[in-house]
Amino acid sequence: MAKILIVEDNALNIKLFCDLLAAHGHQPEAVTDSRVALEKAKSFGPDLVITDIQLPHVSGLDLIRMIRSDEQLAQVPIMAVTAYSARGDEERIRAAGAQAYVSKPISVMKFAQTVDDLLNDERERAREGGTAEGEIDNPYTQANRTDDGPGPGETGGDEP
Ligand code: MN
Q: What is the pLDDT of residues 13-24, one digit of tens each?
A: 999 999 999 999
Q: Kindly state whether residue 82 falls inside one of the protein's structural domains.
A: yes
Q: What CATH number is associated with residue 86? A: 3.40.50.2300
Distance 52 CA to ligand 1 centre (A): 6
Q: Is the pLDDT of residue 117 over 90?
A: yes
Minimal CA–CA distance to 21: which of 99, 81, 66? 81
Q: Kindly state whether residue 150 falls inside one of the protein's structural domains.
A: no
CA dist 63 and 89 (Å) reads 15
User: How many domains does the chain contain in total?
Assistant: 1
Q: Kindly state whether residue 153 falls inside one of the protein's structural domains.
A: no
Residue 10 lies in domain: 3-145
CA dist 126 and 142 (Å) reads 13
Better-scored residue on pLDDT, 21 or 140 = 21
pLDDT band at 88 (very low <50, low <70, confident <90, very high): confident
Indicate the pTM of the whole model.
Answer: 0.79
CA dist 98 and 49 (Å) reads 9
Q: Kindly state whether residue 74 falls inside one of the protein's structural domains.
A: yes
Q: Kindly state whether residue 159 falls inside one of the protein's structural domains.
A: no
Q: Is the pLDDT of residue 144 over 60?
A: no
Task: Provide the residues around ligand 1 (an ion) whose CB is within 5 A.
Answer: 9, 52, 54
